[in-house]
Amino acid sequence: MASVFLLRCKAEPRSQGDAFADTDEPAQIVARSFLARPTARVPRGAVWHIGNTSEMKGGAVFFALGREVIVKAHEFDNRLREFREIEQSQAPFTVGVYDPETQVAGILVRPNVSMNAKEVAAKIAILLEEPGIARRNNRQIVVDFIPDPTGFIAALETAHRITRFEFEFTPPNPPGDNKYIRQPLKNFAERAGAEEGKVSVRGYALNKNELADLTRDIAAAGDNATATIQSKEKGSLERRSLNINPLREPVDAGFHEETGDAILRATQEGFKSLKNKDENG
């Protein structure tokens, strides 16, 4: 079965304010940037495009994402009775849906286009900056893949002890941040004019349940966390990172519904299951 990986697409405030900047909502800045169908040359020289965009019911945006490549092909000229090598232009692409309600995009996994979530996130960030909508609002586009926290949380819950835990945060943007820890930190970052921050806590044996719950929130935001753990009583300390594997959600783009609807539903279900892990078992 096909699957999508999830990206958190944010329009974050720039550190220096602009009294004359537009004041569009971050989710709409990202949506309008998709709808602009941008083209950009990314690192290593490849040209990438966002195209085929359309607004779906409820405000979601369907889009196609792909790149231009030149490949060498062989052909036989019957008139001259000769073989020859020619260059052909190809444009492998995949499709996705951006959900402004959660500011999450689901990208259909396809070979040669979207196998590496981290690289795709970086390319989409470059593309969404291209129309200039974020700059006119004194914001910058940040796209991060949402990691699968399963292995990281399992390491926390089964560790003999956890001695250090660190996580990243940025100013307010996506909804649903932990209101007791991350949201106050984000509000402080915004008041201080910070673009990002990091929190580190240490102790002989940190509370596993508290850290596991916080990890789900960190993953949903597309941020990273690291932990120093001792797996066994007499084992050595080791450092683990959250941002290893992207979260994937199965998608059934069958004959009974449009591909965009299937991707949107999978994206919403994947994000909901991450945020409500305890409720869903």
Domain positions in the chain: 3-145, 150-241
pLDDT at 266: 93
Ramachandran region, residue 233 (left: φ > 0; alpha: ψ -120 to 50; beta: rest):
alpha
277: its two tokens: 């892990």
Within a 10 A sphere around the Cβ of 24, how many other Cβ atoms?
17
- CA 8 to CA 217: how far, in whole Å? 12
- CA 47 to CA 62: how far, in whole Å? 20
pLDDT at 280: 41
Phi, psi of 36 (to 5 degrees): -70, -10
pLDDT at 173: 66
For the chain, residues with pLDDT lower than 50 are 255-257, 278-281
Q: Where are the beta strands (DSSP E) in 14-46?
A: 39-41
The letter for the amino acid at 133 is I
Give this prediction's pTM: 0.83
3-state secondary structure of 98: strand
pLDDT at 278: 42
- Contact between 143 and 223 (Cβ < 8 Å): no
pLDDT at 279: 43
pLDDT digits (tens, 9 = 90+) for 110-144: 888 878 999 999 999 999 999 999 999 999 999 99
What letter would DSSP give residue 232? Answer: S
- CA 94 to CA 105: how far, in whole Å? 13
Cα separation values, 150 from 153, 154, 247, Å: 5, 6, 9
Cα 254 from chain centroid (whole Å)? 25
User: Residue 89 is inside which H or E element, if any?
Assistant: strand 82-90
pLDDT at 270: 92
pLDDT at 255: 38
pLDDT at 177: 57
- Contact between 75 and 242 (Cβ < 8 Å): no
3-state secondary structure of 47: strand
Tokens 């941002």 belong to: 243
Enumerate residues 6+ apart whose C-beta is below 8 A from 232. Answer: 160
- CA 174 to CA 200: how far, in whole Å? 22
170: its two tokens: 């940025």
pLDDT at 60: 96
What letter would DSSP give residue 56? Answer: P
